[in-house]
C-alpha cells in the first residue's frame, strides 16, 4: 500500500511540474489575462455606476441593485481568484447567482420605483419567484427596441438555464467531471479550453449585469456614463456587447460625439 501511495505521489508530482510549465506558457497566460480583464472591466463600471447613482437620492437610497454593489464586486473578485487557482465549477455557480440577483433586483427597481428600500425588499420577498426568472418578461431597457429587449430577455433565460446545471446535481455536471478525469484534468489542472469556456460564460453573464446597471441609472445619468466615462475607455471589453452598443448609440446625438 505504501508503495502504491508513493507511486501516485510521484506521478502527481510529475504532472504538477508539467502543468506548471503549461501555466507559464504564452497561450495560457493570454487566456488568463483576458479573463482577468473581463472581471476588472466589470468591477470598474459597477463602481462608476454606483458613484453616479449618488446624483439621484431616490435611486441611491432605495435601489436593490445599487445597494447590492458590494456583493457583486465580492462575487467578481472571488471568481477571479477561483479561476486563477484552477477551481472552475464554483465560478459557474457564482455566475448563476449573480445573474439571478441582477435580473430580479432590476425588475423590482423598475416596478417599485416609487417605493422605499424596505418596501422594495418586501415586494421582492412576496412577489418575485424564488426558483425562476419568469418575472423579467416586462423588463424595459433604455435605447433598445422591443425586438432587442425580447432578444435580451431570451438570451438571459438561455444563459441562466445553462448555468443552472452547475448549481443542481445534473447529468451535465457529472459528464463534465468524467471528461476532465479522462484527460487527467483534475482540480488545479485546468486546460486552455476550460479557461476559454469560463471566459465566454463570464462575459455573457457580466454583459447582462452591466446592461442592468446602466439601465437602472436612468436616461440622463446613463448618457453621462457613456459620454464622460466609457467613451474614454477605448479598450473596455464590453463595448462589443450588442446590447451595450445599442444603449450607447442612443446618445450619438450628443454634441460631445459630433
DSSP type of residue 190? -
What's the confidence (pLDDT) of residue 170? 78
What's the confidence (pLDDT) of residue 2? 58
Report, in angstroms and rounded to the nearest whole number, the Rg of the chain calculated over CA atoms: 21
Grid coordinates standing for 14? Answer: 510529475
Q: What is the DSSP string of 50-97?
A: HHHHTTSHHHHHH-TTGGGHHHHHHHHHHHHHHHHTT--HHHHHHHHH
Residue segments in the chain with a per-residue pLDDT below the cut of 70: 1-24, 181, 183-189
What's the confidence (pLDDT) of residue 221? 96
Grid coordinates standing for 240? Answer: 462589443
Grid coordinates standing for 227? Answer: 459620454
What's the confidence (pLDDT) of residue 87? 87
Q: If you search the block for the grid coordinates 431616490, which residue do you land on?
A: 58
Q: Name the residue among 131, 138, 133 with its Cα closest to residue 158.
A: 133
What's the confidence (pLDDT) of residue 169? 78
| pTM across the whole model | 0.89
Q: Name the residue among 72, 57, 32, 37 with its Cα closest to residue 117.
A: 57
DSSP type of residue 4? H
Residue 255, burial from CB neighbour count under 10 angstroms (0-12, 13-18, 19+)? exposed
CB atoms within 10 A of CB 96: 22
Amino acid at each position: 500500500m505504501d508503495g502504491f501511495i508513493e507511486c501516485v505521489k510521484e506521478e502527481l508530482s510529475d504532472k504538477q511540474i508539467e502543468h506548471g510549465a503549461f501555466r507559464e506558457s504564452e497561450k495560457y497566460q493570454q487566456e488568463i489575462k483576458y479573463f482577468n480583464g473581463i472581471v476588472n472591466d466589470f468591477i470598474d463600471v459597477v463602481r462608476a455606476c454606483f458613484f453616479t447613482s449618488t446624483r439621484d437620492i431616490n435611486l441611491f437610497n432605495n435601489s436593490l441593485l445599487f445597494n447590492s454593489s458590494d456583493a457583486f464586486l465580492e462575487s467578481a473578485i472571488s471568481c477571479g481568484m477561483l479561476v486563477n487557482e484552477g477551481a472552475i465549477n464554483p465560478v459557474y455557480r457564482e455566475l448563476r447567482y449573480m445573474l439571478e440577483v441582477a435580473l430580479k433586483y432590476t425588475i423590482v427597481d423598475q416596478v417599485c420605483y416609487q417605493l422605499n428600500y424596505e418596501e422594495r425588499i418586501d415586494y421582492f420577498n412576496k412577489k418575485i419567484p424564488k426558483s425562476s426568472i419568469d418575472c423579467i418578461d416586462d423588463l424595459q431597457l433604455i435605447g433598445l427596441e422591443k425586438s432587442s429587449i425580447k432578444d435580451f430577455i431570451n438570451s438571459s433565460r438561455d444563459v441562466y438555464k445553462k448555468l443552472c446545471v452547475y448549481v443542481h446535481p445534473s447529468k451535465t455536471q457529472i459528464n463534465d467531471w468524467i471528461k476532465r478525469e479522462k484527460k487527467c484534468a483534475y482540480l488545479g489542472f485546468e486546460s486552455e479550453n476550460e479557461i476559454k469556456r469560463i471566459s465566454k460564460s463570464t462575459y455573457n453573464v457580466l454583459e447582462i449585469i452591466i446592461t442592468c446597471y446602466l439601465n437602472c441609472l436612468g436616461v440622463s445619468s446613463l448618457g453621462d456614463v457613456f459620454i464622460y466615462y466609457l467613451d474614454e475607455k477605448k479598450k473596455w471589453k464590453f463595448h462589443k456587447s450588442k446590447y451595450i452598443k445599442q444603449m450607447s448609440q442612443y446618445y450619438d446625438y450628443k454634441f460631445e460625439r459630433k
